[in-house]
Structure 1
Amino acid sequence: MLFEKLTISKRFLRELDFPMLITVLIICVFGSLNIYSASHLSYGNQFLKSQIIWIIMGFVLIYSILLIDYSLIKSYAAIIYWFGVFLLVINCIPMFQYTVNGASSWIKIGRFTMQPSEFAKVGIILMLAKELDDMEGNINNLKNFFKLTMYAVIPMALIVSQPDMGMTMVCFFTVLGIFFISGLDLKVILGGMLGLTLVVAIAWKTTLIPYYQRMRIISLFNADKYQLSFALQLTQSKIGIGSGGIFGKGFLKGTQISGGYVPESHTDFIFSVVGEEWGLVGALSLIAFYGVVIYRSINIARESKDIFGSMVCVGIVSSMLFSIFQNVGMTIGLLPITGITLPFMSYGGSSILTAFISIALILNIGMRRKKINF
């Protein structure tokens, strides 16, 4: 049975990483405050209430997943993976597509919307981890490497077709992290990076990259020229973060945010709210909290009793690291704007539930770990 009982034994509870769980809760509370600040003037507490519901559901998910031995989750990895692919295929059907900011990466049925790529990302991690465990980590065997690559490419190709370049990048660097830590020959990794660069260069010379995505990159390096058009969001974000100074303007006192000058400030640009209202101290504190989660996740990966557990942790850490780096980078003008959310901070059901599932998997692996040398 999937759930043998509905309580977690004291033996496992003693191994549960409570510091990580508490840190996640702190980030969620901080995120909810910033979501309210970014949206209360236009929407009241609508987004705040929804986010709190998602957070409560997230902790219920954590508890539910902790009840299941993760070795049993491994046996369902293929089903989870192919279900994620199925959702991505459904997302290709026009009648179910819902387009946001140029990307048809949402499924809409009635009032219900979801982002399949978020859940497919978890499926990719579980599937690659399962296969690597079955292969006993022998990734440099040509047959094994080809098999793993195909499992990565299938959902990523469907995500590219949406086109959602942000999530494609997240999946790519997640897979890259798993391949690198599992011991893939460095020459193969460098060759893959070179090949990707070539593909991007060819796509840039053709019409494969949509105009709005192309302009996001161009405006990054010509912000002054496009500050009233393609770089407007970036320009206003930088003004807000810069005006926050060291200690910020205070909760609910951000003029850029309250004035509505930063679009999507409750979702993709939530870090702009942090920078303006909480200043450098608040921004660095948030990054420090993320650091705690990542550090403890890496320790669990190192101490996992099997390859599957280690690679699941590695995949989730890779995904989280890139998402944080990309999201923060785009709000301060270091990286192009994408639709990548900030884990546990940005508003959105698909995003936050996927983040909770990811943390639940890491906590599950940590709770049932036996230290081994590898």
Structure 2
Amino acid sequence: MLHKLNIRINKKLFRYLSYDVLIVCSMLVLFGAINIYSDTKRYAGIQYFKLQMSWLVIGLIAVGFIILIDYMVIANYAPLIYWSSIILLIINQFIGDTVNGATGWISIGSRAIQPSEFAKLALIIMLAKKLDDMEGKINNLKNFLTICFYAFIPMAIILKQPDMGMTMVCFFTVLGIVFIAGLDLRVIVGGLTGVIGLIVVIWNSPLMKPYWKGRLVAFINPEAYSKDYSFQLKQSLIGIGSGGASGLGYGNGSQYMFVPESHTDFIFAVIGEEWGLMGAIFILLLYGYLIVRFIHISKKSKDIFGKIICIGITASFLFSIFQNMGMTIGLMPITGITLPLLSYGGSSMLTNFIGIGLVLNIGMRRKKINF
């Protein structure tokens, strides 16, 4: 039986809204915004700070809208959401703008959207819907192949852009979902082995762009490529290292000026230089709190759909945080992945808040409300 789209305020549900999650998310955005300002004020004044604060407001409005709708209504629209995102990815292949080698943006006036960010969210929703329909029986061969089918389509298109970073986020998000769904560990290990083999094949094919190879080789031996592929990493390490334990002080950093994309992908280099280890610990504590709350809400979910949505959002956050921070200190290869809620960027900010809104929605409706 289909749930009707009925948007109204259920005041009793707001007893279960996790306001603490919204507070922590807002703290992360505010901290990110002041660091974005510190980085960009020399050439853009307060412009990027205002834009980031605008996205915070838009994100909170999106959360407010999402929590008014029973998330099971959203489940009914999962196929529409998923296939719309696929169409948007295909359109992007023809009219998208190429940024840093990847055709991943569609310009709308003076702004641009990143379709892959929305596709990542749509993928989580679709897999949650399918697993709910399957009653969680993922080890059934037909069910498993169905999950693989829906996961493969967006990742294949995103890989073709080519956007290795977002492909990795989607892959590890799916991996987190199937692991929690109870997929046989032998299948997971076999699948990872197959992926390693696929990477070897892609490495020797036209799909492997020269700058991808350069970044991966530079990751293994950064000193040999310090003037090109690992230049960004070298400057980031100098900046973070100069920050020491307590940082150089807000507005006193300068090394990050030599780091390309310092207000987006490499915002952690700015934080590391000006706030030092204490600043890094601060944001890790905030992220840790969010992750723990997401997992808690997942465990309290009343159905498989809600549980998988929470796990998908959690996995996406976890990998993005690990990958982004890791690449700024040389633990991971450099990819175009933003630091959730801290990096400048409208598409990533909006989709992160939509994901957070879904988690809060599930938490609000974890039990039946009697009137």
Do Structure 1 and Structure 2 share a fold, with TM-score over 0.5? Answer: yes
Cα deviation digits, residues 217-237 of structure 1 (max 9, x gap): 111122222112111110000
Q: Distance in 2 between matches of 1:73 and 1:97?
A: 28
Give the equivalent residue in structure 2 for 1:164: 163
Q: Distance in 1 between matches of 2:18 and 2:303?
A: 18
SS in 2 for 1:105: strand
Q: CA RMSD in A?
A: 1.1
Asked if 1:301 is matched to 2:298, the reply is: yes
Aligned partner letter, 1:201: V
Give the equivalent residue in structure 1 for 2:278: 281
Q: After superposition, where does 1:1-374 map in structure 2 within 5 Å?
A: 2-5=5-8, 7=9, 9-93=10-94, 96-257=95-256, 260-370=257-367
SS in 2 for 1:92: helix
Deviation at 1:2, TM superposition (A): 2.9
Aligned partner letter, 1:175: V
Aligned partner letter, 2:289: V
Deviation at 1:49, TM superposition (A): 1.0
Q: Distance in 2 between matches of 1:208 and 1:116?
A: 21
| Number of aligned positions between the proteins | 365
Aligned partner letter, 1:59: L
Q: Distance in 1 between matches of 2:329 and 2:211?
A: 19
Deviation at 1:208, TM superposition (A): 2.2
Aligned partner letter, 1:42: Y
Q: TM-score, normalised by structure 1?
A: 0.96
Aligned partner letter, 2:65: S
Deviation at 1:205, TM superposition (A): 2.5
Check whether the contact 2:131–2:137 (CA below 8 A) recurs between aligned residues: yes
Cα deviation digits, residues 270-321 of structure 1 (max 9, x gap): 0001100010011011011000000000000001000000000000100110
Q: Distance in 2 between matches of 1:42 and 1:81?
A: 39
Check whether the contact 2:28–2:342 (CA below 8 A) recurs between aligned residues: yes
Deviation at 1:109, TM superposition (A): 4.0
Q: Distance in 2 between matches of 1:224 and 1:216?
A: 12
SS in 2 for 1:99: strand
SS in 1 for 2:227: coil
Cα deviation digits, residues 141-194 of structure 1 (max 9, x gap): 111111111000011110011000000000000001110100111111111101
Q: Distance in 2 between matches of 1:299 and 1:15?
A: 13
Check whether the contact 2:297–2:359 (CA below 8 A) recurs between aligned residues: yes
Deviation at 1:330, TM superposition (A): 0.2
Deviation at 1:10, TM superposition (A): 3.0
Cα deviation digits, residues 88-147 of structure 1 (max 9, x gap): 010111xx1101111111112443311000000010000000010011001111111111
Aligned partner letter, 2:179: F
Q: Mean alpha-carbon deviation: is it higher for 116-125 or for 202-211?
A: 202-211
Cα deviation digits, residues 233-287 of structure 1 (max 9, x gap): 1000000000000010111111113xx2111110000000110001001101101
Cα deviation digits, residues 337-374 of structure 1 (max 9, x gap): 00000000000110000000000000000011039xxx
Aligned partner letter, 1:70: Y
Q: Distance in 1 between matches of 2:82 and 2:362?
A: 19
Aligned partner letter, 1:131: K
Check whether the contact 2:160–2:207 (CA below 8 A) recurs between aligned residues: no
Q: Distance in 1 between matches of 2:334 and 2:118?
A: 22
